[in-house]
Amino acid sequence: MVHFEHVKKNYADGLCALEDVNLHVDKGEFVFIVGASGAGKSTLLKLILREELPTAGTVRVNNVDVARLRRREIPFFRRSIGVVFQDFRLIPHMTVYENVAFALRVTNAPVREIRKRVPFFLNLVGLADKARQMPEHLSGGEQQRVSLARALVNTPSLLIADEPTGNIDPAMSCDIVDLLGEINRCGTTVLMVTHQIPLVQRFGHRTVAISQGRVVHDGRIGGGSARKQS
């Protein structure tokens, strides 16, 4: 599903955010990505979404080399990926409902479909009563959950979530990871960046640790088979 081969990413100012990253995630996997602040986790996800292009190496997602995508194809490529952004990225002038519906509208979904799916997913993240609010009138955790609902509403084949529980209390964080696990069991590949080690330990999925742009650990934390990087 996601394949990084000798990927290197330098930002415009010469900063090397990723260095020789090799990572293979199969269809249906659930992977935690952990690492210190500034390690390069978000950069990794940005490469998957083609928000940034790799400086060297190849990134293949769904058997597509992201660097080879033509401009016209990018939107369709992105629709197959659900994203929870670290900074939420809600559209400020649309209500919560419209923000979630937007991800369906871009796919030309029929109104009936939108009317059914949007309330369902808002309910799933516990925001059914906030549907008509504007994002700026939500608490931090609520915004984050809207972002999650938007990522899920399309039933994407790949879900990438950048600290989706960073602003959410522990109890609800567990619920959300449970939810992601549920979705994962239904066939969606999940990549989730998190700082909350308790979560990682509790759910025991494959965990990739990044430090200073390099993958330093790959495998279950505390037992399980760790595939150490060469």
Ligand X SMILES: Nc1ncnc2c1ncn2[C@@H]1O[C@H](COP(=O)(O)OP(=O)(O)OP(=O)(O)O)[C@@H](O)[C@H]1O
72 φ, ψ (degrees, to nearest 5): -65, -30
Rule CB under 8 A: say whether 150 interacts with other proteins: yes
Specify whether the CB–CB gap between 161 and 191 falls below 8 A. yes
Q: How far is the C-alpha of 22 from the C-alpha of 26, rounded, in Å?
A: 13
Q: Which residue number, 64 or 109, has a Cβ lying nearer to other proteins?
A: 109
Rule CB under 6 A: say whether 92 interacts with ligand X: no
Per-residue string for binding with Mg ion, 80-119, x by CB under 5 A?
Answer: ------x---------------------------------
Q: SS3 for 90?
A: coil
Rule CB under 8 A: say whether 16 interacts with other proteins: no
Nearest to 191 by CA among 199, 180, 202: 180
Q: How far is the C-alpha of 140 from the C-alpha of 120, rounded, in Å?
A: 21
Interface positions with a copy of itself (CB under 8 A): 11, 13, 34-39, 41-42, 86-87, 133, 137-142, 144-145, 162-163, 166-173, 195-198
CB of 140 to a copy of itself, least distance (A): 4
Segment contacting other proteins by CB under 8 A, of 17-25, 34-42, 66-74, 183-191: 66-74
Rule CB under 6 A: say whether 167 interacts with ligand X: yes
Q: How far is the C-alpha of 70 from the C-alpha of 33, rounded, in Å?
A: 29
Q: How far is the C-alpha of 70 from the C-alpha of 155, rounded, in Å?
A: 24
List residues near ligand X by CB under 6 A.
11-13, 15, 17, 35, 37-43, 86, 130, 137-142, 167
